[in-house]
Amino acid sequence: MVEEGLLERVPEEMLAETEERMKYEGLWAHFWCRWGLGYLLRRYISQANAHLRLGVRADVAFERGGQVTVRGSARVCGGASSVQAQADVVILAVPAPDAVQVVQLPQKVASIMSGIEYDSRTAVALFFDPVLQEPVARAFQGLAEVSLDIHSKEELHLVAWQNVKDRSFAHGEIVRLVVHSANGISLDGPGPALEALAGMLQLSAALLEHLLLDWKVVDWKTCQMVRPFESLQTDLELSEPALLLGDSNGSIILAGDYWCQSSFLGGFCSASAAARQALASLRR
């Protein structure tokens, strides 16, 4: 996908320093979807023999009779409806706390995974009138992200300019900024983000509020992993960063960056390992 121009690896110098993302050479590989994740999903569906379901939450997964059963709920108008599906192999790629809730794990594995820790953060997406593009461009100076004082006790630590990711700088394009909070900070509105941007852009918060077209708050209760499996004291050994449960024909595979490192590379390594285990299970 990189060769086709669908994904673009981001030069590290365009990313901001943050307390949760270590910028050691080769540790992080950050990619942008030039045409958006929606385009990648449509491409995936067109090329793979896959049935995509969105808005479905898995509540429980278990193996019985050589197959894996997954039960959950799907969002529908006015509420939710129960859903159930069966498969030969299920790859569960969710944060460790969710995996512990969905699958009945051996006590030893459950205890180990309960020790994996995440921080919590809030992201505030802000959509501004296009007239703000020039002062934003001056403030970012060719970068995609600007970190605020990450060593202070301020609520907000990072500002990302989303237009850079898809190069939507044409005249009249809405200016899209995302302001990220510090660890443990929960925000319920755009006020603190507008105040931080006012200082960064050297404009008044009142003017920014006037130019604000829309906003959205995403409260990540389970956000950046801060304590992966490799940092725990345990005698559980994994040959690769994914865990295959059961030895029958029906298999559940736990995948996630928590098995190795909190980065895009960690996610890729675990996804690759899970795919290899799934293929091996299907061939048995």
Residues 6+ apart with CB under 8 A from 211: 128, 129, 131, 132
The string of pLDDT tens digits covering residues 34-59 is 888 888 888 888 888 778 888 889 99
The string of pLDDT tens digits covering residues 109-162 is 999 999 999 999 999 999 999 999 999 999 999 899 998 765 556 688 899 999
Name residue, tokens 């121009």: 5
Position 22 pLDDT exceeds 80? no
Among 1-10, 56-65, 159-168, 183-192, which is the least confidently predicted range?
A: 1-10
Buried b (16+ CB within 10 A) or exposed e, 236-254: eeeeebbbbbeeeebbbbb
pLDDT value at residue 170: 65
Q: What is the mean pLDDT of the chain?
A: 87
Give the other-Cβ count within 10 Å of 223's Cβ: 20
- What domains lie within the chain, and their CATH numbers? 54-116+227-283 (3.50.50.60), 118-220 (3.90.660.20)
Is 276 in contact with 114 (CB distance < 8 Å)?
no
**How does residue 184 score in pLDDT terms, banded at 50, 70 and 90?**
confident
Average pLDDT over residues 66-84: 87
